[in-house]
Structure 1
Amino acid sequence: MAGCKPQRGGARLKRIKKAAVLGAGVMGAAIAGHLANVGIPTLLLDIVPRDLTEEEKAKGLTLGDRVVRNRLAQKGKERLFKEKPSPLYTKEAADLIQVGNLEDDFDSLKDVDWIIEVVVENLKIKQDLFARIESVWKPGTVVSSNTSGISINKMVEGRSEAFRKHFLGTHFFNPPRYMKLLEIIPNELTDVNILREMKAFAEEVLGKGVVICKDTPNFIANRIGTYGLQVTLKAMEELGLGPDEVDDVTGRAMGRPKSATFRTLDLVGLDTFVHVADNVRENVTNPEEQEAFQVSPLLVKMVENKWLGEKTGQGFYKRVKTEKGKEILVLDPATLDYRPRKKLKARSLEQAKRGKTQAEKLRALVYANDPAGKLAWIITKKALLYTAEHLEEIADDIVSVDRAMRWGFNWDLGPFELWDAIGVEKSVARMREEGETIPPLVEKLLASGATSFYQTEEGRVQSFNIGGKFGDVDESEKVISLSRLKEQGKKIAGNKGASLIDIGDDIACLEFHSPKQAIGADIISMIRKAVKEVSANYRGLVISAEAPNFCVGANLMLMLMEAQDYNWPEIDLMVRQFQDAMGSLRYLDRPVVAAPYGMTLGGGVEVCMPCDRIQAAAETYMGLVEVGVGLIPGGGGNKEMLLRWTEGIDPGDRVALQPLVNHVFETIAQAKVSTSGPDAQKYKYLRPYDGITINRDHLLYEAKQVALGLYKAGYKAPKPRKIPVVGETGYNVLRLGAYGFLKSGYITEHDYKIAGKLAYVLAGGAVPEGTLVSEQYLLDLEREAFLSLIGEPKTQARMQYMLAKGKPLRN
């Protein structure tokens, strides 16, 4: 199929204030859910049921009743509350979804700004639906299809030129809330302004990473990803390996998700995969490519047996109950029986684990002459050659392909980035020795004298293009790369745990890069240095990182070692220094903005809370979780939560004060973690005036703008304030509540001890109810309780268990 060039014209995208999703299946409902997440009222429609359910019959309903006619859409909406992980930022977001059906509510489509079709993958059904949509279509409304591979041009054959100018493919990846990739596919007449503005809207409002695709079978990510899975299946058979052994190689060792190949297939559904592979095979003309997408007999048999993966309870893996409890078995491809899992033993896998960078891990694997190395080389070689050979057919540039695979399949490196990592010259030389035909694009690269598809020129990243030259990689000004800034010499100071970087406009960024961003002496030292440097030379400070998570808390191993050595003065010093560092952030004479994302736990939350503002990513999971290791927050978390919940409260209003303190107690004692940035607001980890960034790539930019705005508005550091506490009376109330949980068997004796220490701190100790105390007074109580608990053998057992198992111990 030929690619499409959007038409130039005068059409403009009006602001999208309301949307409609047609089709309330798993994907349609989830798209509606994400639109609601970002504040867009959405109409969710599905077909009218032909039959009554038994429940409807029992209620005396008829096919004419509205509740029956809207049943499928309503079920789609209700499913959003049950799915895990949740498609919604908060349950309240679903209030923006209005359900209806494709008969009674079809005329309502004239009142929306964007119509998204998400019905069954059948060309005729889609064509008929778009003909109906045009009959009510209001000029200027964008219409799109969420197809995963049907031709965008064929869908709108026979539609008017005006309609086609506003039509394109918008292929969301599942689940839409969490998967970054959105493939946008123009048809031959799509207006260039509509295309450009929809791309900007998707990036800035929906938080997506957008790749513009050509109208070819399965577009970019599914085309390459499906080919890669086909190659892997064949390599497994050729090398006589099992699915579990293949997954040992094709997961994190190769820079891909932990679910690797066959666990991913089970999650996607084998029938879905077969449909995607068949779609490519039926729509390409090259016999070799048709053969490459021919589904293996093994998969055909599994689909016939209804072994479709997670949705049917078995696929390549199967969960069973044994005497030892639950066990996961794996399919033996030769016998079609399930057997216990086994690890692939290969020296190259061990070497890959020791690699410091993904490039080192990959080189250790693909050039090794053991089973893991042979598998890694075969699937890497085949995928790279296929991608380069078909690049011009499926994409306009290598960057689009790399982004599609990183954002759509969660690869650490896209195909051309991966090729650079293993060495283009070395890998091509081996491919030639093995009789492979090298694609023209790669020959052009090597003939030009270059040895990689990407290079950096005067601080700008450039990529090799189809025309045979290097050009600047197109990137939004809203994407700030700390690693690139450090390469450009913008690092102000740094140590093993953190760096201070000039991010422009006289704003500095404190970046955490210790293992798991855990807070230790190095980070505390850099906080002190950052405070001095920013006060003297900068307008403001942003705190963030580029790792998978913002910060998972304090260095637990270090704390445990000191406790086991009875080194209480050292622990006391560490906690004091952390508390002092947080105080220096709160009272710095320049604005401080925290930009958290991902897991932001324990000490990570304590870093954020003293800051003047928090600009959090939508996918931020915040929580003071110290009770999980037998402790309470020690870096000011208790004090900061009291500050937030008691702000504006009359100290003499004891009736109002106690419920607020109760709420803080429950939040910390139950280690409540937000499920999103918006969800963090209900715990007051985020305040009403803190910001949320939907697109993670724009987080640093938006945090920087907040810091600049505060500075330009004449920023003044806050002054310490007294905090009203509930005192002994409130302490008894909190203890009594915890005692009830103990007697009911919900908590252990040690849980009760931890709760007592927490209650004492939050109540302000042995003082009268309504007393105003200083921040330092509460910090001292907090530190004393922390030191007391870390000396407890059961707390140390919890810490040890968390470090070893990664989950809390109840003792």
Structure 2
Amino acid sequence: MAKIKRAAVLGAGVMGAAIAGHLANVGIPTYLLDIVPRELTEEEKKKGLTLDDPRVRNRLAQAGKDRLLKEKPSPLYHRDAANLITVGNLEDDLDKLGEVDWIVEAVVENLKIKQELYAKVERVWKPGTIVSSNTSGISIRAMVEGRSEEFRAHFLGTHFFNPPRYMKLLEIIPTEATRPEIVAEMKAFAEDVLGKGVVMAKDTPNFIANRIGVYGLQVTLKAMEEAGLGPDEVDAITGRAMGRPKSATFRTLDLVGLDTFVHVADNVRENVSDPAEKETFVVSPLLRDMVERKWLGQKTGQGFYKKVKGEKGSEILALDPKTMEYRPRKKLRAPSLEAAKRAKSLPEKLQALVYADDVAGRFAWEITKKTLLYAAARIPEIADDIVSVDRAMKWGFNWDLGPFEMWDAIGVEKSVARMREEGETIPPLVEELLASGAKSFYGKEDGKVRHFHIGGKFRDVEEHPKTISLDRLKEQNRVIKANKGASLIDIGDDVALLEFHSPKNAIGADIIMMINAAVKEVSANYRGLVIGNQGTNFCVGANLMLILMEAQDQNWPELDLMVRQFQKAMGSLRYLDRPVVAAPFGMTLGGGVEVCLPADRIQAAAETYMGLVEVGVGLIPGGGGNKELLLRWTEGVDPKEKLLLQPLVNKVFEIIGMAKVSTSAHEARDYKFLRPCDGITVNRDHLLYDAKQAVLAMDRAGYRPPQPRKIPVVGESGYNVLKLGAYNLLQSGHITEHDYKIACKLAYVLAGGAVPEGTLVDEQYLLDLEREAFLSLAGEPKSQQRMMHMLTKNKPLRN
């Protein structure tokens, strides 16, 4: 890993630029090179530029870099990452490849063009430099035919999925000439530095994920046409009910681009030898027609869906495949879909769906059956084990379960019996499994997860040494204490972990009780505490429904007690005599941020979206968030330096008052939710391990808890400054009257109340102001309307 310090990406198209962006995300200086344009644009002509001007010669690479700063969601963790990308072209700057440790080729999917490029690359290639192709399906071996043995020994495929920042999967495809140590080095680098989930694939058409994923889309298209359904009706079946993303099948195709899908399907058809398989990848006339019409999906404004503006605002229409006209979306109704919604677990959802005898059940069974049979038949052609296939589909297509996990979920014996009745040929791998007496592809033995392997034996599922599974630890009886909302778990090396597992990880009485229990237990028996979990998001805030119910019942003593208890629990974390490390990821909002801020360190996943967003529900932070952010922004400021203090308080007022949420952990540093001493983990699977290491490092260094300190406040005069800023926004129509009321409450808290400017106050004083403002706003009818709207509509109300 230490060898890869600089990189170059050849090709600045959508994928090339995004790969360069992700390399920059993780701190690797990268050259981004593309071909030299042969013609001037009209704009270049107006500027008097010539074809020899570097701005013209580097135009394509510069355009790729510029796109990174415009696209949403952003391919970059932070805008500053773009500074690590240096643009150039493949004629003037090819010699720069001698400076780098990794060259990634991402040019057009044309074998001849790639071969010609590699011939040029080898002329300037520094022996030892790794070279890889991002091809989505062209033979890796064929690309470097004619290259030297040493070059081929350092060459392999590295297939990123789009967008590289957000998609976990990286397929690594070595050839027989690739040195094993190069493969191992790239795998470690991809996992530990790029944050990827790596799957080792074979040099076969479209590798693993696209081979199976495109097959699944093909059979779904065919089944839709045979059943006479529309894309919207199919998406109701193939989305969350089957453990797939909400975008299901046809919204996913629109996002990918129908032309891209056709290209990938054609590539498989042209490169497989089995006539029956070739037939499977023949693209339907419907899809060909749509591509000819330029109905390519999101990039052309219409595909299987089309967004139009009507009298009631924007509406999304669905394509009717029979008439090729767009119509209002239909809602498919079927008992099996309703049963799947009610089911508590994904296996129960799948069983309720695929074994049902209604339109949704028959459809789900047909596409599931074919996909499972195809995946099993492709082993060992495309991969050596079922784990690689399952991970590829989960990480590359965002399935909750891979094909073999799905087979276990619906029951292997039951499903195979039905497949046989329907005349299907059962692949050898499945016959071997059943002949061995096993009833599932995965099992557990001695606390380890095992998988069925070719040859009829079970092998351990290999896990990265930095992966900590909380479910596995629970199975090993490592739970110290637990209630409905949270658990305290021994994660080894005398470190405990506080896990939230309430609905949406919302903070309520159970979690507060467990925080208090954790503080006592860790102080007495452990080296430190990690606060983390492995849910969908770290924590989306306090239990809003509970707050609203107490406020509507005017149960102010109870609500006051709840806020006091939360504040006290946060104080206990801050002053615990053992190191505390919070490990946030995903949505970390409101109370979730308030849990993190008192920690000695935060070890955040790169994809962490932090914000004190309480104003969106008509409140202000009540668990110490105002005080903690004020502490961070004013740390080290002399209270006598009034000109320095007010702008800092203004900034805190802006961050909380505008409910700013970071788009990454890197951006969270701009808001001081994260400090320079806090860490960022790119691979979320390693997050708890890294947080644990931070605890151990502080313990070894002789940890001492922080001491309470006085906080300088801007007082009454500063309050007036903040209030005036809010008033100007009100007068200009940017905020409502109720927004202004909330802003004034927030300003009073952050200013430290009606005290002289520069007064030093203690933390409890600010907490009391915060709690009083929180309770006051909770009693406001318009705040209660905002809370109700968020609970019912899941979006803020501006009233």
Q: How does the TM-score come out when normalised to structure 1?
A: 0.98
Alignment match, 2:683: 695
Q: Kindly indicate whether residue 232 of structure 2 is the aligned counterpart of residue 219 of structure 1.
A: no
Q: Which amino acid aligns with 2:757?
A: E
For the residue of structure 2 that corresponds to 1:320, the secondary structure is strand
Alignment match, 1:625: 613
Q: How does 1:514-593 map to 2 (within 5 A)?
A: 514-593=502-581
1:599 to 580, 584, 587: 587
Instruction: Report the alpha carbon displacement of residue 340 of structure 1 after superposing the two structures with TM.
Output: 0.5
Q: Kindly indicate whether residue 71 of structure 2 is the aligned counterpart of residue 66 of structure 1.
A: no
Instruction: Report the alpha carbon displacement of residue 495 of structure 1 after superposing the two structures with TM.
Output: 1.2
Alignment match, 2:283: 295
Instruction: Report the alpha carbon displacement of residue 322 of structure 1 after superposing the two structures with TM.
Output: 1.3
Q: Kindly indicate whether residue 473 of structure 2 is the aligned counterpart of residue 485 of structure 1.
A: yes
2:264 to 248, 266, 276: 276
Instruction: Report the alpha carbon displacement of residue 45 of structure 1 after superposing the two structures with TM.
Output: 0.4
Q: How does 1:455-466 map to 2 (within 5 A)?
A: 455-466=443-454
Is residue 516–residue 551 contact of structure 1 (8 Å, CA) maintained in 2? yes
Alignment match, 1:737: 725
Q: Deviations over 1:783-810 (max 9, x none)?
A: 0000000100000011111111111111
Distance 2:448 2:151 in 1: 40
Instruction: Report the alpha carbon displacement of residue 174 of structure 1 after superposing the two structures with TM.
Output: 0.1
Alignment match, 2:20: 32
Is residue 351–residue 364 contact of structure 1 (8 Å, CA) maintained in 2? yes
Alignment match, 1:44: 32
For the residue of structure 1 that corresponds to 2:259, the secondary structure is helix
Alignment match, 1:405: 393
Alignment match, 2:759: 771
Alignment match, 2:297: 309
1:306 and 1:424, CA in 2 relative to 1: closer, same or farther beyond 3 A?
same
Alignment match, 1:371: 359
Q: Deviations over 1:561-599 (max 9, x none)?
A: 111111111111111111011011111111110000000
What stretches of structure 1 of length at least 5 have no aligned partner?
1-12
Distance 2:507 2:343 in 1: 24
For the residue of structure 2 that corresponds to 1:709, the secondary structure is helix
Q: Kindly indicate whether residue 72 of structure 2 is the aligned counterpart of residue 84 of structure 1.
A: yes
Distance 1:238 1:501 in 2: 52
Alignment match, 1:325: 313
The 10-residue stretch of structure 1 (169-178 or 427-436) with the greater mean CA deviation from structure 2: 427-436
Instruction: Report the alpha carbon displacement of residue 437 of structure 1 after superposing the two structures with TM.
Output: 1.1
Q: Deviations over 1:324-357 (max 9, x none)?
A: 2111110111111111001110111111111111
Instruction: Report the alpha carbon displacement of residue 312 of structure 1 after superposing the two structures with TM.
Output: 0.9
Is residue 36–residue 97 contact of structure 1 (8 Å, CA) maintained in 2? yes
1:193 to 152, 167, 181: 181
Q: How does 1:143-158 map to 2 (within 5 A)?
A: 143-158=131-146
Q: How does 1:337-416 map to 2 (within 5 A)?
A: 337-416=325-404
Distance 2:345 2:702 in 1: 44
Alignment match, 1:753: 741
Alignment match, 2:217: 229
For the residue of structure 2 that corresponds to 1:318, the secondary structure is strand
For the residue of structure 1 that corresponds to 2:229, the secondary structure is coil
Distance 2:87 2:183 in 1: 28
Q: Which amino acid aligns with 1:184?
A: I
Instruction: Report the alpha carbon displacement of residue 535 of structure 1 after superposing the two structures with TM.
Output: 1.0
Alignment match, 2:696: 708
Q: Deviations over 1:125-163 (max 9, x none)?
A: 000000110011000000000000000000000001100
Alignment match, 1:238: 226
Alignment match, 2:660: 672
Alignment match, 1:798: 786
1:421 to 399, 402, 409: 409
Distance 1:249 1:223 in 2: 22
Distance 1:74 1:67 in 2: 8
Alignment match, 2:124: 136
Instruction: Report the alpha carbon displacement of residue 651 of structure 1 after superposing the two structures with TM.
Output: 1.4
Instruction: Report the alpha carbon displacement of residue 548 of structure 1 after superposing the two structures with TM.
Output: 1.0
Distance 2:307 2:710 in 1: 56
The 10-residue stretch of structure 1 (18-27 or 353-362) with the greater mean CA deviation from structure 2: 353-362
Alignment match, 1:120: 108
Alignment match, 1:98: 86
Q: Which amino acid aligns with 2:354?
A: V
Alignment match, 1:726: 714
Distance 1:316 1:123 in 2: 31
Distance 1:433 1:378 in 2: 13
Instruction: Report the alpha carbon displacement of residue 197 of structure 1 after superposing the two structures with TM.
Output: 0.7
Alignment match, 1:495: 483
Q: Which amino acid aligns with 2:202?
A: K
2:254 to 266, 279, 283: 266
Distance 2:483 2:330 in 1: 41
Q: Which amino acid aligns with 1:628?
A: G
What stretches of structure 2 of length at least 5 have no aligned partner?
none
Distance 2:202 2:60 in 1: 33
Distance 2:345 2:467 in 1: 23
1:450 to 438, 441, 446: 438
The count of corresponding residues between Structure 1 and Structure 2 is 799
For the residue of structure 2 that corresponds to 1:120, the secondary structure is coil
What is the Cα-based RMSD across aligned positions, in Å? 0.7
For the residue of structure 2 that corresponds to 1:369, the secondary structure is coil
Is residue 478–residue 698 contact of structure 1 (8 Å, CA) maintained in 2? yes
Distance 2:14 2:191 in 1: 23
Q: Which amino acid aligns with 2:290?
A: M
Q: Deviations over 1:169-191 (max 9, x none)?
A: 00000000000000000012000
Distance 1:211 1:647 in 2: 46
Instruction: Report the alpha carbon displacement of residue 14 of structure 1 after superposing the two structures with TM.
Output: 6.0
Q: Deviations over 1:516-555 (max 9, x none)?
A: 1100111111111111111111111101111110000001
Is residue 14–residue 113 contact of structure 1 (8 Å, CA) maintained in 2? no
Q: Which amino acid aligns with 1:703?
A: A
Is residue 14–residue 140 contact of structure 1 (8 Å, CA) maintained in 2? no
2:195 to 192, 207, 211: 207
Q: Which amino acid aligns with 1:51?
A: E
1:507 to 490, 495, 506: 495
Is residue 593–residue 614 contact of structure 1 (8 Å, CA) maintained in 2? yes
Alignment match, 1:4: none
Alignment match, 1:3: none
Distance 1:191 1:315 in 2: 44
Q: Provide runs of 4+ in structure 1 moved above 2 Å.
A: none
Distance 2:448 2:620 in 1: 46
Distance 1:592 1:432 in 2: 57
Distance 2:342 2:694 in 1: 40
Is residue 491–residue 501 contact of structure 1 (8 Å, CA) maintained in 2? yes
Alignment match, 1:611: 599
Q: Kindly indicate whether residue 423 of structure 2 is the aligned counterpart of residue 441 of structure 1.
A: no
Distance 1:758 1:633 in 2: 9
Instruction: Report the alpha carbon displacement of residue 655 of structure 1 after superposing the two structures with TM.
Output: 1.1
Distance 2:538 2:89 in 1: 43
Alignment match, 2:6: 18
